[in-house]
């Protein structure tokens, strides 16, 4: 079984996928980490030296490479992965176990404001402009995120609770 977690930056995809992987005995693959290993650069360096279009092209190619292995695993996507290169259609050719971790704007701001430096899309946005930027960004991305089979609200929930919710939906 291939399970995919998607959602905006800081929605908890990585931590939820790690615990879910332990619970289900499945390996976990973080698409950003995979891209960094393959490209031998951090995501930030890729954005800085090659630009976003290059990143999106590679993101799509590596996602396809991973899905084509058809290995049972949990894949944690990057925040923008569902929104480019027809990636949601590609994903649904391989699995219907897709979960959108939906986090509110205030909660996202809380989580990202101290770690903007490692997030190229928001590193140059002033703290006071984050609500408007993230609000607009989520609005644009919503149509893609909503293509996930399941939607899980994450605010005020622990990683354990989120994993339980996902497991219940898988049964
Ligand atoms: C991005 C989110 C990041 C990473 C890249 C672009 C986005 O992943 O893929 O910086 O477009 O939202 P995380 O959601 O894991 O931070």
Ligand 1 contact, 120 CB (< 6 A): yes
Which domain, by its residues, includes 70? 2-170
As for how many domains the chain has, the answer is 1
- What's the whole-model pTM score? 0.97
Ligand 1 and 30: CB distance under 6 A:
no
List the CATH number of the domain containing 166: 3.40.50.300
* Residue 80 alpha carbon to ligand 1 centre in Å: 6
Residue 171 has pLDDT above 90, yes or no: no
Whole-number Å distance, alpha carbon 7 to ligand 1 midpoint, is 9
90-137 residue pLDDT tens: 999 999 999 999 999 999 999 998 889 889 999 999 999 999 999 999
- What is the C-alpha separation between 54 and 52, in angstroms, rounded? 5
CA 8 to ligand 1 centroid distance, Å = 7
DSSP character string of 46-80: HHHHH-HHHHHHHHHHHHHHHHHT---EEEEPPTT
- Distance CA(64)–CA(165), nearest Å, equals 27
The DSSP bridge partners found for residue 150 are: 99
């Amino acid at each position: 079984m291939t399970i995919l977690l998607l959602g905006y930056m800081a929605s908890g995809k990585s931590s939820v996928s790690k615990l879910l992987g332990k619970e289900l005995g499945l390996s976990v693959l973080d698409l950003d980490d995979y891209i960094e290993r393959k490209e031998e650069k951090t995501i930030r360096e890729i954005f800085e030296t090659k630009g976003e279009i290059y990143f999106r092209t590679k993101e799509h190619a590596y996602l396809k490479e991973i899905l084509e292995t058809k290995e049972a695993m949990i894949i944690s996507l990057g925040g923008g992965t569902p929104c480019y290169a027809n990636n949601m259609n590609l994903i649904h050719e391989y699995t219907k176990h897709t979960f959108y971790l939906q986090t509110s704007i205030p909660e996202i701001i809380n989580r990202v404001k101290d770690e903007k430096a490692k997030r190229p899309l928001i590193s140059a946005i002033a703290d006071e402009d984050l609500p408007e930027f993230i609000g607009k960004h989520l609005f644009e991305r919503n149509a893609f995120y909503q293509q996930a089979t399941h939607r899980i609200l994450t605010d005020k929930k622990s990683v354990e609770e989120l994993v339980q919710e996902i497991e219940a939906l898988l049964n």
